[in-house]
């Protein structure tokens, strides 16, 4: 018996479904791309530009559209106007201060051997170094600040960078700043003067609907899979799952890829809707595992308290009801309880991570508006994931009485 046999021919080129793959065409974003292109057009025309703040939830094409337009702009500006366009892309995930941002900009313009250490300089020296570096480039520089919301608490450069030329910090180069954020409330939290500097133009990318997701998936599937291996319902089902959730193209592509992987593992000749369903269940489990394991002890206690109410059929529950149960669980786990106000933040976080469902009730005059919470995931899997934290053991014993 041979040890190795050829894999079944499900995929042609699975890399096409990976996160790294850059598609040639952006689908389902015509009007958004048109507005974005108009916002960048002054660069082509050699006119002063306004800064751009681009919003939208995760996976709605903000990154891919920005890369697509900047790549074209770079080529076209060179061709028609002989202007050099430099693009600087800073992922602000771990960049929380203006000082770190200046260091990241400098380093992204330098060869690795000339990188500076992002510590130890007086702040003003660091900023001056950055402006000198930018000015030396000449032409036009587009600085993309991806996940710009991380810089909210130290916003000096968010204010100054878009105005650098007007304020005489640079002379030879024009700078356009594009801030990208999936925090839809980011702008509301900015100081007025930062808002008017960073968000001179705003673009909103809405979630994809099922039709748009289907269009994106069909184009990718054509290259990713061998001919005729996808059953007819597969792409519509992947699109429907992702549209029902938050309309995220990344999620839809991952689901299609995982369905293909499952079919391949089973040595199946076709990818079916059952494979999609299994992939969806697996991904949901992975999401719960990751989200629960990343919670702080307080977050886990709040989740456990809401879950125990759920198991007693007492959800949707209000903040004050969760708080009573939470206090008991905090004491069982020997943790200092947080205030009721802080509990509200934890409930909000858990809802953002889709571990809980949040619903606002409006009862008219008597009680006004309030929020209610219920559990949106499988109780057994939450309990098994909470078990990984030894401190939760007494709480789990209590929860198990209700399971």
Ligand X SMILES: Nc1ncnc2c1ncn2[C@@H]1O[C@H](COP(=O)(O)OP(=O)(O)OP(=O)(O)O)[C@@H](O)[C@H]1O
Count of residues that interact with ligand X, criterion CB under 6 A: 19
Query: Does residue number 144 form part of the binding site for ligand X (CB under 6 A)?
Result: no
Q: How far is the CB of 84 from ligand X (least distance, A)?
A: 26
Query: Does residue number 60 form part of the binding site for ligand X (CB under 6 A)?
Result: yes
Q: Which is nearer to ligand X, 182 or 374 (CB)?
A: 182
Enumerate residues 6+ apart whose C-beta is below 8 A from 150.
92, 93, 94, 95, 96
The 10 Å Cβ neighbour count of residue 189 is 12
Query: Both tokens of residue 8?
Result: 């079944």
Q: Which of 3, 5, 6, 19 binds ligand X (CB under 6 A)?
A: 19
Exposed, middle or buried, 122 (CB in 10 Å: 0-12/13-18/19+)? exposed
Q: Which is nearer to ligand X, 12 or 398 (CB)?
A: 12
Cα 146 from Cα 62, distance rounded (Å) = 9
Query: Does residue number 216 form part of the binding site for ligand X (CB under 6 A)?
Result: yes
Query: Does residue number 23 form part of the binding site for ligand X (CB under 6 A)?
Result: yes
Exposed, middle or buried, 88 (CB in 10 Å: 0-12/13-18/19+)? buried
- Annotated ligand binding at 292? The verdict is no
Q: Which is nearer to ligand X, 45 or 209 (CB)?
A: 209
Cα 392 from Cα 3, distance rounded (Å) = 46
- Annotated ligand binding at 220? The verdict is yes
Enumerate residues 6+ apart whose C-beta is below 8 A from 80.
44
Q: Which of 10, 16, 27, 157 binds ligand X (CB under 6 A)?
A: 27
Q: How far is the CB of 39 from ligand X (least distance, A)?
A: 17
Q: Which of 59, 162, 260, 316 binds ligand X (CB under 6 A)?
A: 59
Query: Both tokens of residue 150?
Result: 């991380």
Look at residue 256 and give its three-state secondary structure.
helix
Cα 143 from Cα 38, distance rounded (Å) = 17
Q: Which is nearer to ligand X, 57 or 402 (CB)?
A: 57
Query: Does residue number 249 form part of the binding site for ligand X (CB under 6 A)?
Result: yes
The 10 Å Cβ neighbour count of residue 171 is 10
- Annotated ligand binding at 329? The verdict is no
- Annotated ligand binding at 74? The verdict is no
Query: Does residue number 182 form part of the binding site for ligand X (CB under 6 A)?
Result: yes
Q: Which of 49, 63, 176, 315 binds ligand X (CB under 6 A)?
A: 63
Question: Residues in the site for ligand X, rule: CB under 6 A?
Answer: 19, 23, 26-29, 56, 58-64, 182, 216, 249-250, 253
Binding-site residue positions for ATP: 60-64, 208, 220
């Amino acid at each position: 018996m041979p040890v190795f046999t050829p894999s079944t021919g499900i995929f042609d080129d699975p890399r096409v479904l990976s996160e790294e793959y850059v598609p040639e065409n952006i689908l389902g974003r015509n009007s958004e791309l048109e507005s974005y292109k108009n916002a960048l057009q002054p660069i082509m025309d050699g006119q002063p530009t306004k800064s751009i703040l681009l919003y939208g939830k995760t996976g709605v094409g903000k990154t891919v559209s920005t890369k697509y337009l900047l790549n074209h702009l770079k080529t076209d500006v060179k061709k028609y106007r002989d202007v050099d366009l430099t693009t600087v892309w800073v992922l602000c995930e771990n960049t929380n201060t203006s000082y770190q941002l200046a260091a990241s900009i400098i380093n992204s313009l330098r060869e690795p051997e000339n990188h500076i250490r992002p510590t130890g300089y007086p702040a003003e020296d660091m900023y001056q170094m950055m402006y000198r570096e930018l000015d030396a480039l000449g032409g036009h520089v587009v600085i993309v600040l991806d996940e710009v919301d991380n810089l909210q608490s130290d916003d000096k450069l968010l204010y100054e960078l878009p105005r650098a030329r007007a304020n005489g910090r640079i002379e030879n180069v024009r700078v356009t700043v594009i801030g990208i954020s999936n925090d839809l409330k980011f702008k509301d939290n900015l100081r007025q003067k930062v808002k008017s500097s960073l968000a001179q133009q705003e673009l909103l990318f809405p979630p994809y609907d099922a039709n748009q997701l289907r269009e994106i998936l069909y184009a990718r599937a054509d290259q990713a899979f061998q001919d005729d291996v996808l059953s007819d319902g597969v792409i519509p089902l992947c699109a429907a799952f992702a549209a029902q959730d938050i309309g995220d193209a990344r999620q839809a592509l991952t689901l299609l890829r995982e369905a293909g992987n499952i079919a391949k593992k089973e040595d199946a000749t076709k990818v079916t809707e059952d494979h999609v369903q299994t992939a969806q269940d697996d991904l949901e489990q992975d999401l719960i595992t990751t989200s629960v394991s990343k919670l702080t002890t307080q977050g886990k206690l709040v989740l456990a308290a809401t879950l125990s109410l759920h198991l007693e059929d007492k959800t949707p529950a209000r903040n004050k009801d969760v708080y009573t149960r939470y206090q008991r669980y905090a004491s069982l786990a020997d943790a200092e309880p947080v205030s009721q106000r802080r509990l509200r933040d934890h409930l909000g976080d858990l809802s953002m991570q889709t571990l809980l469902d949040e619903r606002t009730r409006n009862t008219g005059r008597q009680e006004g508006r309030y929020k209610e919470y219920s559990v949106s995931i499988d109780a057994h899997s939450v309990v098994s994931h909470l078990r990984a934290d030894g401190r939760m053991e007494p709480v789990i014993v209590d929860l198990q009485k209700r399971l």
